[in-house]
Amino acid sequence: MKTAMKKNWWRYLLTVAILLLYLAPFYILIGVAFKMPSDPSSRWILPNYIYLDNFAKALEGRILQGMQGSLIITLCSVSLIICVGALAAYPLARNKSKLNKAVRGFILGVMMVPPLSILVPIYSVMKVINGISTYYGMVLLLLTFQLPLSIFIYSNFIASIPTALDEAACIDGCGPFRTFISIILPQLAPVTASVAILTGVTCWNDYQFSLYILQKPQIASVTLAVSDFFAQTSSNVFAAAAAALLGLLPIAVLFLLLQKHFIKGMVDSAIK
Amino acid sequence: MKRLLSIGLILALALTALPAITLGDGVTLNVWTNMTGVVNETFAEVCREFTAETGINIDYAAPANDYEALMKTKMATEDLPDVFSTHGWSVIRYSSFLRPLNDQLWFGDISEVIIPLITDDDGNIFVLPVDIDIAGIVYNRDILAEVGVDVDDIVTWTDFAAVCELVKEAGYIPVYLGGKDDWTIGQFFDWVAPSFFVTNEAENDRDALIDGTFDWNKWGALADMFADWNQRGFLNVDAATSDYATCTTELGLGNVAFEFFGNYAIVDANKAGPANLGMMPIPAYFEGDTPTLIAGERLAMGVWKDSKHPEEALQFINFLARPEIMSKLASANGALAGFESVESDTGAVAGDFEKYADVRTFPYFDRIYLPNGMWNDLCATGLGILNGSMSTEAIVDYMRESYLEKMDLL
């Protein structure tokens, strides 16, 4: 054991370095969130006192409203992304026709389009369907831009499930839909956790669409609520840090709950 | 369990159909401003007063830093708020989207200082100027007293540099910039450029800048002056990486003599400490020219010409034009009110406004004399000087090329 450690010391060093790199923003975030605005000390120094007024200021803002909005948007978007993604991926994975190949290529192509490059047409469509400042407008947009990822992951995973299962179901009298629901869907649990986490985090953290679509002050997302604390001449980075800390809690808890499935899904995808 | 989950999902989906909540029934106006902090809160309060009085609801939004980006998208999709602030661009950028307001009863009350800045070539005005942004250089009275300088003796940039030398020797930072917020650098050039190219009646480039014939080699003198200040240690050592918040903190703590910001910086500086701050005019570049002040829109509100509720929008504008409302909003901004007859509380600089009442005012340089989009060039070239990546020649070439391209002259 000790020899292995000695031999691989650089790997441990690299791991620690990467870990520090990832933890540094959280370290600064926590430090700033508990620091008094008049404290001129470096952001790298944790305060030796607990100052909760930043959280009070964060709560006076729109952070709770933002968390509620993000929860509704994320829940609905992820549910639809999973349902529609899995349903769309099944025929694409099983029926390897030229048309399906083209469809898969098109879906992958959509993933390459930077959403902000088509902002004006998107905004115009949202205006026509009265989607501005509504949750359904946001859900539709996130669904549109996250669906390709979901279809890509699901179709790769389904392609790795032996077709013998489908054939057996067919012999037992199942149609394609029943086969999907009864045979394929139960196999998708680990990869669904991956899709839920990857798209859920994106939906929760979305800023670009929220900024343009959620324009009325009564409707907000977590990111918009945090950005309220930043202005050209009157920013409050301390309250913003407290709001960000509150805002990342739900998604962090979700990740911790689902991480077992997430890792299994990643490993299974890699093996199969 | 599955049924519960299904019901939960259906309920959540149903929630998404909820539109934004509005208070009460009837007409709802969308009102947007670029205001932040106290002014934003005061404006929200005024909106509530309007709703209480008229029964007309207001959806008030103030997207702060994102205001300009959002407004550009809204202009592109022709979906503007019913009433919105024009942040200095009522004529050049927004006039084609706004309803002229010359027919309003208060038209004749608008201050003489602001009226040329909000009037187009046909004599139309498109906004109600709630207050007027009159700005000079913010300075620390105590530091100047300590080094034995009377602020009114600073007439030219040569005088200013001599004072900076004294301030530096006394152990203070002469000029503080926050390059991480690069607008603080762009603003320096916006403040100083008029003295080089606009304010001198005997020799100026007003017409050349507008018609595209400006000789950009002249810009080198301005770039050189900035580089010289940096080299002589008149700027904070972290000018390229500091930020606006630090600028005002240092100002409030009494460590800095001069900053090139509007009077809002005094309000922010006072949060850090009770420094004795004032406003002085911007020195001249040419011998024989006199110091000047910058004037422009601050809170100026216009009505979207295609608003579905034009009557109600005008009613709101007229509500803002009431002396007591205008005074309240102008005081929150620490600025002069948009009407001659309306008084406002201008705080620490009230005496300075009185003292410099006869000083000539000029508009923000980039708003009038540079084509749309060159603001970023002011910020970028300034940063280039600070981090040593751009020589004067490179800056002149960069500015010339950008100017000609944006004027469609390339």
- What number is the ipTM of this complex? 0.76
As a whole number, mean pLDDT of residues B319-340 equals 93
Distance from CA of A199 to the nearest CA of B (A): 17
* Dist. CA A41–CA B259, nearest whole Å: 23
Report the distance separating Cα B143 and Cα B148, nearest Å: 9
Residue percentage of chain A with pLDDT more than 90:
55
Listing DSSP states for B219-258 in one string gives HHHHHHHHHHHHHTT-B-TTTTT--HHHHHHHHHTT-EEE
Look at residue B9 in the predicted model and tell me its pLDDT.
55
State whether residue B9 sits within 8 Å of chain A by CB: yes
pLDDT tens-digit map of B135-148: 999 999 999 999 99
The phi, psi pair for A235, rounded to 5°, reads: -90, 150
User: Using one digit for the tens of pLDDT, what is the confidence trace for A11-63?
Assistant: 999 999 999 999 999 999 999 999 988 777 888 888 888 899 999 999 988 89
> How many whole angstroms separate alpha carbon B295 and alpha carbon B234?
26
Phi, psi of A165 (to 5 degrees): -65, -45
Question: Given this model, what pLDDT does residue B307 score?
Answer: 96
In the sheet that B57-61 helps form, which strands lie side by side, from edge to edge?
A: B57-61, B28-32, B83-85, B300-303, B127-129
For residue A132, the chain B residues in CB contact (below 8 A) are 79
- A95–B contact, CB cutoff 8 A: no
B244, A232: Cβ pair inside 8 Å?
yes
Q: What digits encode the pLDDT tens for the residues B107-164?
A: 999 999 899 999 999 999 999 999 999 999 999 999 999 999 999 999 999 999 999 9
Amino acid at A104: R
- The residues with which B293 forms a beta bridge, in sequence order, are B361
Per-residue confidence (pLDDT) for residue A237, from 0 to 100 = 86
pLDDT at B5 exceeding the cut of 80: no
Q: Collect all residues of chain A within an 8 Å Cβ-Cβ radius of residue B255.
A: none
Question: Would you say residue B93 has pLDDT above 70?
Answer: yes
| Cα(A57)–Cα(A35) distance, integer angstroms | 13
Q: Classify each residue of A13-46 as buried b or exposed e, where b means 16 or more C-beta atoms within 10 Å of its C-beta.
A: eeeeeeeeeeeeeeeebebbbbbebeeeeeeeee
* Bridge-based pairing state of the strands B173-175 and B256-259: parallel
What gap in Å lies between CA A139 and CA A144, rounded to an integer?
Answer: 8
Do B19 and A212 count as a contact with CB atoms less than 8 A apart? no
Domain residue ranges of chain A, discontinuous segments joined by +? 65-222+252-270
Among A62, A120, A129, A215, most B C-beta atoms within 10 A, so best to mutate, is A215
Any residues with CB less than 8 A from the CB of A32 and at least 6 apart, and which? A43, A237, A238, A241
Query: Considering CB atoms only, which of B77, B183, B265 is closest to A127?
Result: B77
Q: Is the separation of the CB atoms in B263 and B349 below 8 Å?
A: yes
Domains identified in chain B and CATH numbers = 25-132+296-353 (3.40.190.10), 135-294+360-406 (3.40.190.10)
Q: Does A68 touch chain B (CB under 8 A)?
A: no
Residue B173, beta-bridge partner list: B256
CB neighbours of residue B363 within 10 Å:
17
Binned at pLDDT 50, 70 and 90, residue A257 comes out as confident
The answer to whether A234 contacts B181, with C-beta atoms less than 8 Å apart, is: no
pLDDT tens for each residue of A203-237:
999 999 999 999 888 889 999 999 888 876 667 88
Of B20, B249, B268, the CB nearest to A233: B268
B51, A138, A254, A18 alpha-carbon torsion, rounded to 10°: -110
In whole angstroms, what is the distance from residue A143 CA to residue A110 CA? Answer: 13
In this complex, do B12 and A216 lie within 8 Å of one another by their Cβ atoms? no
- Torsion over CA: A221, A223, A226, A231 (sign): negative
Interchain proximity B79–A123, CB inside 8 Å = yes
Question: Within a 10 A sphere around the Cβ of A181, how many other Cβ atoms?
Answer: 13
**Residues B109, A16: Cα–Cα separation, whole Å:** 68
Q: Taking the alpha carbons of B24, B30, B31, B36 in that order, is the dihedral positive or negative? A: positive
Tokens linked to B228: 């010289």
Residue-level pLDDT at B16 = 52
What is the arithmetic mean of pLDDT over B191-212?
Answer: 95
Q: Does domain A65-222+252-270 have CATH number 1.10.3720.10?
A: yes
| Residue of B40, B75, B107, B99 lying closest to B309 (CA atoms) | B99
| Tens digit of each residue's pLDDT (9 = 90 or more) over B30-46 | 999 988 777 888 999 99
Neighbour tally for B96: CB within 10 Å:
11
Q: What is the pLDDT of residue B324?
A: 96
Whether B355 shows a pLDDT value over 50: the answer reads yes
Question: Are residues A227 and B183, on separate chains, in Cβ contact within 8 Å?
Answer: no
pLDDT band at B1 (very low <50, low <70, confident <90, very high): very low
Instruction: Say whether A124 and B77 touch across the interface (CB within 8 A).
Output: yes
- The pLDDT, as a whole number, for residue A265 is 65
